[in-house]
Amino acid sequence: MKTFKYFFPISLFYFFRFAPVFLLAENFPTNPSEEFGLFKSDETLEIVLKTNLKNLIKNKNDDEYQEGEITLVGKTYPVRLRARGNNRRETCSFPPITLNFKKTEFEDKSFDQLKKLKLVNSCKMQKSYEQYILREYMIYRTFNLMTDKSFKVRLLKIDYVDTKEKVKTVTRYGFVIEDQYMMAKRLDGLIIKTEGIRDQATSRQHMVMLSIFQFMIGNTDWQIARLHNLKLLRLNKITETAPYVIPYDFDHTGMVNASYSIPSPILGIESLRERLFWGKCYSDEELKAAIEEFVKKKEAIYEMYQNFELFDKSSHKQAIVYLDSFYEIIETEKKWKAYFIDNCRE
């Protein structure tokens, strides 16, 4: 009886403490590491996207879906699409797009998990803008190298076809981003939408690594409290209750260096290529552990950039020079302490 007397309250405590995890576990696949069809490969996928392009561009500030068709892997399917985004809607003559597959039945059943996808496409149809897209795509791939707790992406070569034949067909590269709920299923976790969380309440070492990664790519366009360009992922594990912070949307960074991206006056910098550490204050030990991970991945990161054939000479040179400057900082203790300790934010 004594055993039951003390065991019962303790059992209740653990049940209610982790109830969301237990109760939602049945919603996840039996194989948490499962990857869905579209994101299984890193090869460029050629697709055809047909819709009323003139209407899409004209009504880019509307949230109404319009009908279209998408051809991929030799099959054509219906899709609904609309413009998305905030800054890019205002800045871009050709807005980023949301693809809605909720009513689509795919012949390849591995694609059935697709519901909504963010398509990141050229802001304008000039070829120079296509390089910005490729640079942003490579940032996602770089973060994939650092951690599996990241959004997967798939590079696309897209033929944009106007159904009204009033806009000339054009071919450009773009990419789609893994849906947040697909990512959660892949990692056996769930998305948390609570704003106001403090970085101290997140997975600590992941947060340190993320802060240095944002410094690496020259990104200050993120904030935890408002979940600005961030998602929170809690793993379906009793031993890991602190959520992981997952970044996205990297067009306003020094690594992309888009001509339309201007740093905020409050930052006190003239160019996004000037790095600022936007993370909080961490201990020497935490910073050294995170830096060690970047040093371990250095060869793989450089190899990925050097072998990416879709970059033009300018993009390739800019990327390597920017990586060089980052590693020069983190491999020199005096320099990284000046950024990460002397100028951290309380």
Amino acid at 300: A
Q: How confident is the model at residue 10 (pLDDT cuts 50, 70, 90)?
A: very low
Burial of 110 (0-12, 13-18, 19+ CB in 10 A): middle
Burial of 164 (0-12, 13-18, 19+ CB in 10 A): exposed
pLDDT tens for residues 274-323? Answer: 999 999 999 999 999 999 999 999 999 999 999 999 999 999 999 999 99
pLDDT, mean over the chain: 87
Amino acid at 178: E
Q: How confident is the model at residue 36 (pLDDT cuts 50, 70, 90)?
A: low
Please give the angle made by the CA atoms of 289, 294 and 297, to the nearest 5 degrees: 125
Say how far apart CA 237 and CA 176 lie, in whole Å: 29
Name the residue with higher pLDDT: 19 or 111.
111
Residue-wise DSSP of 12-38: HHHHHHSHHHHHHGGGS-SSTT---GG
Say how far apart CA 222 and CA 129 lie, in whole Å: 23
What the block records as the tokens of 149 is 């707790």
pLDDT tens for residues 173-229? Answer: 999 999 999 999 999 999 998 888 888 899 999 999 999 999 999 999 999 999 999
pLDDT tens for residues 82-121? Answer: 998 776 677 788 888 999 998 888 887 777 778 899 999 9
Nearest one of 247, 269, 251, 268 to 259, comparing CA atoms? 251
Q: Are 154 and 144 in contact (CB under 8 A)?
A: no
Say how far apart CA 326 and CA 215 lie, in whole Å: 8
Q: Are 177 and 151 in contact (CB under 8 A)?
A: yes
What integer pLDDT is reported at residue 199 of this predicted model? 87
Torsion sign, CA atoms 263, 88, 345, 209: negative
What the block records as the tokens of 205 is 């070492």
Please give the angle made by the CA atoms of 340, 343 and 346, to the nearest 5 degrees: 95
Amino acid at 244: Y
Q: Are 144 and 183 in contact (CB under 8 A)?
A: no
